[in-house]
């Protein structure tokens, strides 16, 4: 049976010869009604407060969910950017390695060409030395022949002079 404060206030008791003191019963019922009314008000206040707290909790839960969602989005973006940065770094490194390899190959090729040129210069030097030696030897032979010829010529002239001197 549900009761409200008015039920308590309006409750009538039958009076008997040996019954309770009417004023004490009415005063007690008034006190109970007031206390019951206060308790109902407290209950209503607590229910209102509970509803407000539930709404606030729901609002905080929504904020928490939004924060979690935002955090997940930020983590995903950070992961994507990190992955993209790694990929770009790997591409840069790969490109640099390829360029370094090309440069290495070019240097090897240039060195090989320079080595060939050096070998050709050595051959040319050797050939030139041989030709110069041959030229010098042939010139020396010419000089030696010239000396012999000159000596012979002078010898002949001396002999001719001696012959002429004897004749005189």
Q: Tell me: the pLDDT tens digits for 132-166? A: 989 888 888 887 776 666 666 666 766 766 666 66
| Residue ranges covered by each domain of the chain | 5-167
Residue of higher predicted confidence among 10 and 164: 10
CB 25 within 8 A of CB 43: no
Distances (CA, A) of 146 to 73, 138, 155, 158: 105, 12, 13, 17
Quick one: average pLDDT of 6-27?
76
The pLDDT value given to residue 152: 64
Q: Tell me: the pLDDT tens digits for 91-115? A: 999 999 999 999 999 999 999 999 9
Residue of higher predicted confidence among 66 and 164: 66
The pLDDT value given to residue 11: 75
The rounded distance, in Å, linking the Cα atoms of 94 and 88 is: 10
Can you say whether residue 26 is alpha, beta or left, with left for phi > 0 and alpha for psi between -120 and 50 degrees? alpha
To the nearest whole number, what is the mean pLDDT of the chain?
86
Among 26-35, 44-53, 90-99, name the one with the lowest average pLDDT. 26-35
């Amino acid at each position: 049976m549900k009761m409200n404060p008015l039920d308590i206030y309006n409750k009538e008791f039958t009076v008997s010869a040996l019954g309770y003191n009417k004023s004490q019963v009415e005063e007690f019922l008034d006190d109970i009604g007031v206390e019951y009314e206060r308790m109902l008000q407290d209950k209503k206040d607590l229910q209102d407060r509970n509803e407000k707290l539930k709404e606030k909790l729901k609002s905080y839960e929504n904020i928490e969910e939004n924060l979690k969602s935002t955090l997940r989005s930020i983590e995903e973006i950070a992961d994507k950017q990190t992955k993209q940065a790694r990929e770009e770094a790997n591409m840069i490194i790969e490109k640099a390695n390829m360029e370094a390899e090309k440069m290495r190959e070019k240097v090897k090729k240039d060195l090989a060409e320079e080595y060939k040129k050096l070998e050709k210069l050595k051959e040319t030097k050797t050939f030139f030395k041989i030709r110069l030696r041959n030229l010098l030897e042939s010139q020396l032979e010419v000089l030696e022949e010239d000396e012999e010829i000159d000596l012979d010529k002078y010898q002949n002239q001396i002999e001719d002079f001696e012959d002429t001197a004897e004749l005189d």
